[in-house]
């Protein structure tokens, strides 16, 4: 097995690409950062040449306040770049999509690029026959089945604007998004499987439609169980596409034409409809997928994100397919039928790139190292993380157990709003350091500033901002709410600095460590502390598998940290262990960061994608209303936590 990285002899837990990785990598010379920084617009123009344009752009970048534009006047199509160009290059028989259903005894579905193009074309033709045209919004409320990718591709193929809603969201959440976007059509399914249970989806969709503009509902038959069908409105997917032609020409779209709307799942109030346009998104997603994960034709890319999130859009669907590699789509839960399911999938399909969330990694740490050890993971070449800062213990577990100390870990920082990755260590350049994301992607200008917008000194904490020229895939606005767009992202520092709302530090090499959301910053006795830093410190203890820290008001200190700690298998809670954990925080941060309470728990509330719902934990320790828990994968955990914390809300 090729070892792709080597340890730094001078610094513990620092790793660099070896000669083999540098030779295989698309970029291996650090000078790329300097060259891109000297002229970011020229850098992105060069990258844009790698995808197919029906008409070349007339102006690469227009820098207007709140109205920046990329590749102005250029015409292209996301679906054409994902499918047609590979078929036209003679690669139609290459595997494009590998679908792994949750039931282990159900066969995989394998679609080649030629197959996928035909499926997408049939649905695109059917959508046109139903009157869907360029600019119309289409809701997609589908589980992790091939039709989810097919539906997204079919929409962008004809210029319709898709808005994908996570299939575990409630009917109310779906309705909010359909209403706000003004969707004319909804694509859903009868149901799907999760942890061996059949989840009924169609009744949720039906409930959401009241008062919306949805005229037709296309229903994919996934499970075959009995569901209500509304005559005249509801159409079976398989019947609808049966007679359609297997080719639909891709619509030439303007670079700044709207590609999709994706709603951020805010904890309160109206969800924000983040708008991404075609050209800038296509270019940045294509090149970041290629460079971040070192994608080559023989790669099998497994991104565990749901299509309802931006990661699923960019690095399960568009990014891998634009690069002509095979993408794995898994329907179910990582612990079904046992804790080894993800590793079994990697062995079975010879996955080379694995991209998942730190929360998922910490779950696997808790389940024990015996599970990955049962499987052959030697096909892996690159590992990635996404969604939140990763603590050192989880990073090292991932690196050693899953990557066999061979693979670089690409710790990516980005947002729904950025559309594509913005900070990471490139596999041919490095270094790969636990808890450190890496450098801004070439051509992206990021810096750390203080509350006044002034740069901080190297190593000092501050706010992460992006400055012009803004990344090509950065959002172009919030659907129907330009004022909220300005106030949310440019209200803090003005139109020349996009405020990420993340805290960060930068070292002398330009490597960035994300310290967490600034709204997850506590003011403890006058000291500003990120909850993520306290979590990272507690995670250093060898018996801890996962931690969530929130703040609680305190009469003396203003706020104090409260920790929810999950222990590794076999470890027992005790007062002595609490004392050890406090000493660990003292060692890594200092006494100021000591948790006021430490609760040993079996589980914490999480979304289906594995993110910890810290707002619920915060409500529990503050005695406030917990709010909606319908989107949790483990709502039963909330009642147990209420008992543990003595909740009186």
Residue 609 is predicted with a pLDDT of 65
Beta bridge partners of 549: 563
Q: Bigger pLDDT: 537 or 438?
A: 438
Q: How far apart are alpha carbons 15 and 561 in whole angstroms?
A: 33
Model confidence pLDDT, tens digit, residues 53-79? 999 999 999 999 999 999 999 999 999
Q: Give mean pLDDT, residues 441-456.
A: 94
* Any domain includes 490: no
* Any domain includes 343: no
Return the structure tokens found at 316: 């399960």
* Any domain includes 625: yes
Q: Is the pLDDT of residue 266 over 80?
A: no
- Total count of domains within the chain: 1
What H or E segment, with its residue span, contains residue 138? Answer: strand 137-141
Q: Cβ neighbours of residue 86 under 8 Å, at least 6 residues apart?
A: 92, 94, 96, 113, 324
Query: For residue 504, which of 494, 516, 487 has the smallest C-alpha distance?
Result: 516
Residue 528 is predicted with a pLDDT of 63
Any long-range contacts for 287-291 (C-beta under 8 Å, 24+ apart)?
287/47, 287/50, 288/314, 288/319, 288/420, 288/421, 288/441, 289/314, 289/315, 289/319, 289/320, 289/322, 289/323, 290/26, 290/323, 291/25, 291/26, 291/27, 291/426, 291/427, 291/441
Q: Cβ neighbours of residue 196 under 8 Å, at least 6 residues apart?
A: 102, 103, 336, 337
Q: How confident is the model at residue 267 (pLDDT cuts 50, 70, 90)?
A: very low
CATH number of the domain to which 558 belongs: 3.30.300.30
Share of the chain above pLDDT 70, in %: 98
Q: Is the pLDDT of residue 407 over 50?
A: yes
The angle that helices 31-38 and 40-48 make with each other, rounded to 10 degrees, is: 110
Q: What is the pTM of this model?
A: 0.86
Return the structure tokens found at 390: 């990763």
Residue 531 is predicted with a pLDDT of 85
Q: How confident is the model at residue 615 (pLDDT cuts 50, 70, 90)?
A: confident
* Any domain includes 299: no
Domain interval for residue 615:
527-645
DSSP state of 203: H
Q: Bigger pLDDT: 615 or 246?
A: 246
* Any domain includes 422: no
Q: Bigger pLDDT: 170 or 394?
A: 394
| Sign of the alpha-carbon dihedral angle for 421, 426, 427, 433 | negative
Q: How far apart are alpha carbons 423 and 632 in whole angstroms?
A: 29
Query: For residue 299, which of 192, 141, 427, 119 has the smallest C-alpha distance?
Result: 427
* Any domain includes 111: no
Return the structure tokens found at 529: 């502390």
Model confidence pLDDT, tens digit, residues 197-255? 999 999 999 999 999 999 999 999 999 999 999 999 999 999 999 999 999 999 999 99
Q: Is the pLDDT of residue 530 over 90?
A: no
Q: Give mean pLDDT, residues 561-568.
A: 96
The DSSP-derived string for 545-613 is EEEEEEEEEETTTEEEEEEEEEEPTT----HHHHHHHHHHHHHHT-GGG--SEEEE-S---BBTT--B-
Residue 259 is predicted with a pLDDT of 98
Q: Is the pLDDT of residue 128 over 50?
A: yes
Residue 77's CB is within 10 A of a number of other CB atoms, namely: 26
Residue 587 is predicted with a pLDDT of 81
* Any domain includes 621: yes
Q: How far apart are alpha carbons 558 and 598 in whole angstroms?
A: 18
Q: Bigger pLDDT: 205 or 628?
A: 205
Return the structure tokens found at 127: 């959508």
Residue 515 is predicted with a pLDDT of 85
Alpha helices in 411-508 (DSSP H): 482-490
Residue 554 is predicted with a pLDDT of 84
Maximal C-alpha separation, the chain: 71
Q: Is the pLDDT of residue 281 over 80?
A: yes
Q: Is the pLDDT of residue 131 over 50?
A: yes
Q: Is the pLDDT of residue 630 over 60?
A: yes
* Any domain includes 585: yes
Q: Give mean pLDDT, residues 144-151.
A: 98
Q: What is the mean pLDDT of the chain?
A: 94
Q: Cβ neighbours of residue 397 under 8 Å, at least 6 residues apart?
A: 361, 364, 365, 369
| Sign of the alpha-carbon dihedral angle for 393, 399, 405, 411 | negative
Share of the chain above pLDDT 90, in %: 84
Q: Is the pLDDT of residue 578 over 90?
A: yes
| Sign of the alpha-carbon dihedral angle for 274, 416, 100, 351 | positive
Kindly report which listed range (120-124, 130-134, 528-532) carries the lowest average pLDDT score. Answer: 528-532
Backbone torsions φ then ψ of 582, nearest 5 degrees: -65, -40
- Coil, strand or helix at 633: coil
Q: Is the pLDDT of residue 526 over 80?
A: no
Model confidence pLDDT, tens digit, residues 581-601? 999 998 877 777 899 999 999
Residue 269 is predicted with a pLDDT of 47
């Amino acid at each position: 097995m090729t070892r792709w990285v080597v340890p730094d002899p001078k610094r513990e837990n620092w790793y660099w690409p070896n000669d083999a990785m540098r030779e295989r990598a698309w970029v291996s010379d650090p000078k790329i950062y300097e060259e891109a920084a000297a002229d970011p617009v020229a850098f992105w123009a060069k990258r844009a040449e790698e995808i197919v344009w029906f008409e070349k752009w007339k102006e690469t970048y227009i820098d207007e306040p709140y109205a920046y534009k990329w590749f102005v006047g250029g015409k292209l199509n996301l679906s054409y770049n994902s499918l047609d160009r590979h078929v036209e290059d003679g690669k139609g028989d290459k595997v494009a999509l590998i679908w792994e259903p949750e039931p282990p005894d159900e066969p995989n579905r394998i679609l080649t690029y030629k197959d996928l193009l035909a499926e997408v074309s049939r649905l695109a033709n059917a959508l046109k026959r139903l009157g869907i045209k360029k600019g119309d919004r289409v809701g997609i409320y589908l589980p992790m089945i091939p039709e989810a990718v097919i539906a997204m591709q079919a929409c962008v193929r004809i210029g319709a604007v898709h808005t994908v809603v996570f299939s575990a969201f409630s009917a109310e959440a779906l309705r909010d998004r359909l209403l706000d976007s003004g969707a004319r059509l909804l694509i859903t399914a009868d149901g799907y499987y999760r942890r061996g249970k059949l989840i009924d989806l169609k009744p949720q969709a039906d409930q959401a439609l009241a008062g919306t503009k949805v005229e037709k509902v296309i229903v994919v038959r996934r499970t075959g169980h009995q569901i209500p069908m509304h005559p005249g409105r509801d159409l079976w997917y398989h019947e609808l596409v049966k007679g359609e032609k297997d080719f639909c020409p891709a619509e030439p779209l303007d670079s700044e034409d709207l590609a999709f709307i994706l709603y951020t799942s805010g904890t309160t109030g109206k969800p924000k409809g983040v708008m991404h346009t075609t050209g800038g998104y296509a270019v940045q997603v294509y090149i970041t997928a290629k460079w971040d994960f070192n994608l080559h034709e023989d790669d099998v890319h497994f991104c565990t994100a749901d299509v309802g999130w931006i990661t699923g859009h960019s690095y399960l669907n568009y990014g891998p397919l634009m690069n002509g590699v095979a993408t794995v789509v898994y329907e179910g839960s990582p612990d079904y039928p046992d804790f080894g399911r993800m590793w079994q999938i990697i062995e079975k399909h010879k996955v080379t790139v694995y991209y998942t969330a730190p929360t998922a990694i910490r779950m696997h740490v808790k389940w024990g190292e015996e599970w990955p050890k049962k499987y052959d993971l030697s096909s892996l070449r690159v590992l990635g993380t996404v969604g939140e800062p990763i603590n050192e213990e989880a990073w090292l577990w991932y690196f050693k157990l899953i990557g066999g100390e061979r693979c670089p870990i690409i710790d990516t920082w980005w947002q729904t709003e950025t559309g594509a990755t913005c900070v990471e260590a490139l596999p041919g350049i490095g270094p790969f350091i636990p808890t450190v994301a890496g450098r801004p992607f070439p051509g992206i200008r990021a810096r750390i500033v203080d509350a006044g917008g002034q740069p901080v000194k190297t190593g000092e904490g501050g706010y992460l901002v992006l400055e012009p020229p803004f990344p090509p895939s950065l959002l172009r606005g919030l659907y129907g709410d330009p004022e909220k767009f300005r106030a949310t992202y440019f209200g803090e520092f003005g139109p020349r600095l996009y405020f990420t709302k993340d805290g960060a530090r930068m070292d002398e090499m330009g490597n960035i460590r994300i310290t967490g959301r600034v709204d997850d910053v506590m003011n403890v006795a006058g000291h500003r502390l990120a909850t993520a830093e306290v979590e990272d410190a507690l995670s250093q203890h060898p018996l801890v598998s996962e931690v969530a820290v929130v703040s609680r008001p305190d009469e003396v200190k203003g706020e104090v940290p409260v920790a929810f700690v999950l222990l590794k298998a076999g470890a027992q809670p005790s007062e002595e262990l609490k004392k050890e954990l406090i000493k660990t925080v003292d060692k890594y941060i200092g006494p100021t960061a000591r948790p006021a309470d430490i609760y040993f728990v079996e589980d914490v509330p999480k979304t289906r994608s594995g993110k910890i719902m810290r707002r619920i934990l915060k409500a529990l320790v503050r005695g406030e209303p917990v709010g909606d828990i319908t989107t949790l994968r483990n709502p039963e955990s909330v009642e147990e936590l209420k008992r543990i914390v003595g909740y009186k809300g």
